C-alpha cells in the first residue's frame, strides 16, 4: 500500500463581513474616511497593518476586489473605519465619495503579512499615501521607547497631518507638489541619505510597487536582512485592484 500524497496546503477561507456605512467624511483634502458597522465586528481579530478585501461595485456592474487597510476597529461599538485615498475617478474612491449611511459593502479578511516586530531595536517606515492608514494605525499601537523613522511621500504639504504615537518618531514628509503619483525617486533619495542605526531594525515598505522594490533593494544592499523587511506593492499604474508581493 502506498501512502497518499499530502493534500496541498490551501489558504484558509477568509471571514466574511457585511459592512453597513455609518458615516463618511474627509479627514484630509485627498483622504475620505468611511465608518462602517456590522453585527459581528466584535469578532474581528486582526493586527494593525492588515487589510480587508472589499467587493467594490464597478461602473459596468458587478464587483471587483480592492484591498483596504483597517484604519481602526472599535469592537465594543462594532464599528471600523477605512481611509480611501481620493486619487481619481476609479471605483474605490468614487464609491467612498458617494457613500451614504446604510450603503452596503461585502468584505473578506483580515489579510496581510505586515506586522510590528516588537523585538526590533528600531523601525523604518517608507510609504506613499496608500500606506499611511497602515503606518498611522501601527504607530498608534507602538509603545513609548520604540524608535521609529518614517519617510512619507504625499501629494502636497497639505497632507502633513499629526501622527499619533507614543514612540520616538522622526518623520520626513516628501511632497510630489503636482507631479503624477507613480514610480519616482522621492523616498528613495531620502532613504539613500539616511544612515541606518545600529542594532536589529525592521522595515515596513508600502506603496507603489516599483518604488517599494527600489526601497527594498537599497536596504538589502545596505546590509539589512531580507527577513527584516516587510514590503508590499499596494498599487501600480495600470493594474486593477490586487497587490504585488515584493520579495526579491
Ligand atoms: C494590503 C493593501 C492595503 C491597502 N490599503 C489602502 C488604504 O487603506 N487606502 C487606500 O487608499 N489604498 C489602499 N491600498 C491601495 C488600493 O487597494 C489601490 O490603490 C486600489 O487599486 C484602488 O482601487 P481603485 O478602484 O481606486 O483603482 P483600480 O480600479 O484598482 O485602478 C484603476 C487605475 O488607478 C490606478 N491607481 C490605483 N490606485 C492608485 C493610487 N493610489 N494613486 C494613483 N493611481 C492609482 C491604477 O494603477 C489603475 O491604473 C491598499 C492596497 C493593498 C494591497
63 and 82 within one domain: yes
From the CB of 183, is ligand 1 less than 6 Å away? no
117, part of any domain: no
Residue 5 pLDDT exceeds 50: no
The predicted pLDDT at position 8 comes to 44
**168 close to 146: Cβ distance less than 8 angstroms:** yes
The predicted model scores a pTM of 0.95
Residue 37 pLDDT exceeds 90: yes
128 and 101 within one domain: no
91 and 64 within one domain: yes
Question: Which residues constitute the domain of residue 221?
Answer: 122-245
133 and 226 within one domain: yes
C-alpha 195 – ligand 1 centre gap (Å): 31
| C-alpha closest to that of 68 among 3, 17, 141, 144 | 17
Most ligand 1 atoms within 8 A of CB, residue of 57, 62, 130 to mutate: 130
| C-alpha closest to that of 99 among 50, 158, 37, 44 | 37
CA 232 to ligand 1: nearest atom: 53
Cis ω for the linkage preceding 241 (within 30 of 0): no
The predicted pLDDT at position 2 comes to 35
Q: In this predicted model, what pLDDT tens digit does every residue of 228-241 receive, in sequence order?
A: 999 999 999 999 99
194 and 144 within one domain: yes
239, part of any domain: yes
Q: Tell me how far CA of residue 229 lies from CA of 105, 203, 245, in angstroms.
A: 33, 5, 12
Residue 106's CATH number = 2.40.30.10
Confidence class for position 11, pLDDT limits 50, 70, 90 = low
Number of domains in the chain: 2
Q: Which residue has the cell 504615537?
A: 165
Three-state secondary-structure class, residue 157: helix
189 and 147 within one domain: yes
79, part of any domain: yes
User: Atom 12, ligand 1: which residue's CA is nearest?
Assistant: 130
201 and 128 within one domain: yes
162, part of any domain: yes
217, part of any domain: yes
Amino acid at each position: 500500500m502506498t501512502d497518499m500524497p499530502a493534500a496541498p496546503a490551501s489558504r484558509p477561507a477568509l471571514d466574511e463581513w457585511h459592512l453597513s456605512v455609518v458615516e463618511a467624511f474627509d479627514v484630509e483634502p485627498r483622504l475620505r474616511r468611511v465608518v462602517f458597522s456590522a453585527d459581528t465586528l466584535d469578532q474581528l481579530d486582526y493586527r494593525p497593518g492588515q487589510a480587508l478585501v472589499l467587493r467594490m461595485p464597478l461602473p459596468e456592474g458587478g464587483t471587483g476586489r480592492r484591498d483596504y487597510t483597517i484604519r481602526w476597529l472599535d469592537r465594543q461599538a462594532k464599528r471600523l473605519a477605512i481611509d480611501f485615498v481620493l486619487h481619481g475617478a476609479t471605483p474605490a474612491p468614487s464609491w467612498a465619495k458617494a457613500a451614504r449611511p446604510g450603503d452596503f459593502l461585502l468584505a473578506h479578511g483580515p489579510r496581510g503579512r505586515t506586522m510590528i516586530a516588537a523585538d526590533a531595536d528600531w523601525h523604518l517606515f517608507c510609504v506613499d499615501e496608500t500606506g499611511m492608514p497602515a503606518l498611522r494605525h501601527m504607530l498608534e499601537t507602538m509603545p513609548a521607547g520604540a524608535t521609529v523613522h518614517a519617510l512619507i511621500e504625499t501629494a502636497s504639504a497639505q497632507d502633513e497631518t499629526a501622527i499619533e504615537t507614543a514612540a520616538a518618531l522622526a518623520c520626513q514628509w516628501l511632497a510630489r507638489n503636482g507631479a503624477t503619483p507613480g514610480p519616482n525617486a522621492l523616498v528613495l533619495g531620502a532613504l539613500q541619505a539616511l544612515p541606518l542605526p545600529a542594532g536589529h531594525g525592521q522595515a515596513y515598505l508600502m506603496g507603489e510597487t516599483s518604488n517599494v522594490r527600489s526601497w527594498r533593494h537599497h536596504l538589502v544592499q545596505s546590509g539589512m536582512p531580507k527577513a527584516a523587511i516587510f514590503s508590499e506593492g499596494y498599487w501600480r499604474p495600470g493594474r486593477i485592484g490586487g497587490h504585488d508581493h515584493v520579495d526579491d
